[in-house]
């Protein structure tokens, strides 16, 4: 077992409901190298070919699936507006030296958990080519998104994972050492305590109740754990009646957005970010711990003040020490 695979195997959640190995898709945001150079690195490392190309997007086809490499479109639109230009006018100079300042995103295809080590070579090659990540940017909050396939689409499974993430989210912020620019951005907001308490006190909700509760408390894509893609996969009409955002892409995955992208740091790896997500996997599939920590969280609630965040992070750390 490699370090990507073993946490899921140890909890018997390596496979999905169809008994196929679960897949995970990663999205990496960085700058420092151009769109074209990024595509060339991915092609070289994964023996791929460029099948589609525009000024702002390249698709690299590999034996593992399609890797889409894109310039940050929102960034481009904002930069063009500030410069009094269209995006097309802005793209021409950006295709040269200025391209190094524009955020690039590599969107990996869903990969079996047993194949994730191929991404380590890609990250190393991008680093050597000059990719720079979260700490180097004052204008963009670069991160890594992890799209882990849900082990099953039933309400009890999803409820367990939501409760587990709610209990771990404060620890996740500290463990990932989330960059200040990303913390204060609106893109990775945490669940409010009121929603966590609702998750912990709901008694066996059905899927419609889970979705409605989520939409009431989180009617936005901007969450550290964005459940809208998953819930749109299950009931798109229900989701879009509340959040009609064309960027919501239906898929049977959790959309975890907390980790920094420190691709320029030789000590950093996707695996480290993945293993922090795997604590959610572990807690979600440990019913005794889930019940005990849930009870402790509710007991720790203080009138008007809520749960002491620092004390709760220490409580989670103690639990992890006993369950490592």
Cα–Cα dist 148/111, whole Å: 10
Mean pLDDT of 24-35: 92
Going through the chain in order, the beta strands assigned E by DSSP cover: 23-30, 49-53, 57-62, 65-71, 104-107, 111-112, 144-149, 225-226, 253-256
pLDDT of 80 higher than 60: no
pLDDT of 138 higher than 80: no
Lowest-pLDDT choice from 48-52, 253-257, 283-287: 48-52
CA triplet 33, 263, 251: central angle to 5 degrees? 95
Tokens found for residue 239: 């989701």
Tokens found for residue 171: 């620890």
Q: Compute how many other C-beta atoms are within 10 angstroms of the C-beta atom of residue 179.
A: 20
pLDDT of 237 higher than 70: yes
Tokens 């006190």 sit at which residue?
Answer: 201
Mean pLDDT of 5-19: 94
SS3 61: strand
Cα–Cα dist 316/258, whole Å: 18
The CATH 3.30.310 portion of the chain extends over: 24-132
Please say whether the beta carbons of 114 and 152 come within 8 A.
no
Please give the DSSP secondary-structure letter assigned to residue 27. Answer: E
112 - beta bridge partners? 23
Mean pLDDT of the chain: 90
CATH T-level fold of 24-132: TATA-Binding Protein (3.30.310)
Cα–Cα dist 282/278, whole Å: 6
- pLDDT, residue 91, reads 62
The model's pLDDT over 165-204, given as tens digits with 9 standing for 90+, comes to 999 999 999 999 887 777 777 788 999 999 999 999 999 9
pLDDT of 55 higher than 60: yes
- pLDDT, residue 89, reads 64
């Amino acid at each position: 077992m490699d370090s990507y695979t073993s946490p899921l195997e140890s909890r018997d959640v390596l496979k999905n409901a169809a008994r196929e190995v679960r897949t995970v898709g990663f999205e990496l945001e960085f700058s420092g190298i151009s769109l074209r150079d990024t595509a060339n690195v991915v092609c070289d490392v994964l023996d791929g070919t460029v099948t589609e190309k525009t000024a702002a997007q390249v698709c690299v086809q590999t034996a593992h699936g399609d890797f889409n490499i894109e310039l940050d479109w929102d960034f481009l639109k904002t930069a063009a507006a500030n410069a009094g230009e269209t995006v097309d006018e802005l793209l021409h100079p950006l295709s040269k030296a200025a391209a190094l300042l524009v955020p690039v995103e590599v969107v990996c295809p869903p990969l079996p958990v047993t194949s994730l080590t191929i991404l380590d070579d890609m990250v190393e090659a991008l680093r050597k080519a000059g990719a720079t990540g979260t700490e180097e940017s004052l204008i963009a909050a670069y991160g890594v998104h992890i799209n882990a396939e849900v082990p099953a689409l039933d309400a009890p499974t999803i409820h367990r994972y939501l409760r587990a993430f709610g209990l771990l989210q404060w620890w996740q912020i500290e463990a990932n050492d989330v960059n200040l620019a990303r913390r204060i951005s609106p893109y990775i907001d945490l669940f409010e305590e009121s929603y966590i308490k609702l998750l912990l006190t709901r008694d066996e909700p059905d899927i419609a109740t889970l979705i409605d509760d989520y939409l009431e408390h989180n009617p936005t894509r901007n969450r550290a754990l964005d459940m809208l893609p998953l819930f749109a996969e299950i009931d798109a009409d229900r989701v879009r009646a509340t959040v009609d955002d064309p960027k919501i892409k239906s898929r049977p995955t959790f959309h975890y957005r907390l980790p920094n992208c420190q691709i320029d740091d030789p000590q950093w790896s996707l695996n480290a970010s993945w293993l922090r997500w795997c604590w959610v996997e572990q807690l979600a599939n440990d019913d005794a711990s889930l019940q005990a920590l849930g009870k402790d969280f509710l007991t720790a609630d203080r009138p008007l003040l809520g749960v002491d965040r620092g004390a709760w992070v220490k409580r989670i750390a103690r639990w992890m020490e006993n369950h490592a």
